Structure 1
Amino acid sequence: MREGTGNNFMSLQFAAKSENEAFARVAVAAFISRLDPTMDELSDLKTVVSEAVTNSIIHGYDSDPSGVVTIKVGIEADVITLVVEDAGRGIEDLELAKQPLYTSKPELERSGMGFTIMENFMDEFEAVSEPGGGTSVRMKKRIESKKALYN
């Protein structure tokens, strides 16, 4: 997702503030709109952006607005690659964090479904994290153009 690769791409950085989560959703949705995704596909993508960004803000940075969340989106033919990264505290036990209903912040009444939702809504999902070194979530989804449904 860099210039010169032939891909269409974008990169976005913003402060780790919860009010920026909606901005991230809309920015990604606008960028991928040229693929003419179905409403379900668009909803799924906006949901995974929300989950990943919220995880970075709440878990990665402990809601510290001085942190920075980075989103990278690439389009290659009909496949979207979405990467959400933070340089926050990282995840000590990534396999445990991926378990449905697990949350490291039960006092905030979090559902613990973020990774599960991302994994189920996307075709490919990979999370990499190192304690003290931040977290990177990389996902891919193939878009079925609505135009193809009418041909």
Structure 2
Amino acid sequence: MNLQFSALSQNESFARVTVAAFIAQLDPTMDELTEIKTVVSEAVTNSIIHGYDGKPDGKVFISVLLEESAVELVIRDEGVGIKDIDEARQPLYTSKPELERSGMGFTIMENFMDEVEVRSEPGFGTEVRLRKHLLKSKALCN
């Protein structure tokens, strides 16, 4: 599935619900579904707040690949990029302290997903690739 939308804060919930509905066909547990929705929310919010500095003219792109027992998400923007990825991934780091951001976005992604890869080039945007292996015992559709 591929999704593209304007970098508006209200579209974060649209992205979260759309991804959750799409991955429901794999019959994830409620915890897995909640974790994936949270991760989508964090990554999309990062794109909107940090990538585009809250300017609505940017676009956020999401692709979701489903495998037998895994979900791969790619969330990308064409915003300002990240100067220092290692620093940005540190707990409590935020490039927008004046907005009282918690600086926990990447930490949450790393805790909820099995793999997190961040690629970024200043001036050209950021891509966050996330992968989660789902449990064999299915809970939602039983």
TM-score (structure 2 length as normaliser): 0.96
Residues of 1 paired with 2:15 and 2:3: CA distance?
Answer: 8
1:147 and 2:115 are equivalent in the alignment: no
Q: State how 1:1-150 maps to structure 2 within 5 Å.
A: 10-147=1-138
SS of 2:93's partner is coil
Query: Which position in structure 2 is the counterpart of 1:6?
Result: none
- Shift in Å at residue 59 of structure 1? 0.1
Helix, strand or coil: the match of 1:62? coil
1:35–1:145 CA contact under 8 A, matched in 2: no
1:74-99 deviation digits (Å, cap 9, x = unpaired):
00111100000000000011100000
Aligned residues: 140
d(CA) in 2 for partners of 1:145, 1:31: 18
- Secondary structure (helix, strand or coil) at the match of 2:15 reads helix
Q: 1:131 to 1:147 in 2, by over 3 A?
A: closer
TM-score (norm 1): 0.90
Q: CA deviation at 1:147?
A: 3.4
Indicate the SS of the match to 2:61.
strand
Distance apart, 1:144 and its partner CA: 1.4
Which runs of no fewer than 5 residues in structure 1 stay unpaired? Answer: 1-9
Distance 2:104 2:138 in 1: 33
Is the 8 Å Cα contact of residues 29 and 138 (structure 2) preserved in structure 1?
A: no
In structure 2, distance between residues paired with 1:119 and 1:126: 9
Q: Which amino acid aligns with 2:28?
A: P
- Shift, 1:145, TM fit: 4.4
Q: Indicate the SS of the match to 2:3.
A: strand
Q: Which amino acid aligns with 2:105?
A: G
Return the alpha-carbon distance in structure 2 between the equivalents of residues 131 and 60 of structure 1: 10
Q: State the AA in 1 paired with 2:120.
A: S
CA distance, structure 2, for counterparts of residue 47 and residue 112 of structure 1? 15
Counterpart AA for 2:46: N
Amino acid corresponding to residue 95 of structure 2 in structure 1:
S
Preserved contact between residue 78 and residue 144 of structure 1 (Cα < 8 Å): yes
Q: Which amino acid aligns with 2:114?
A: D
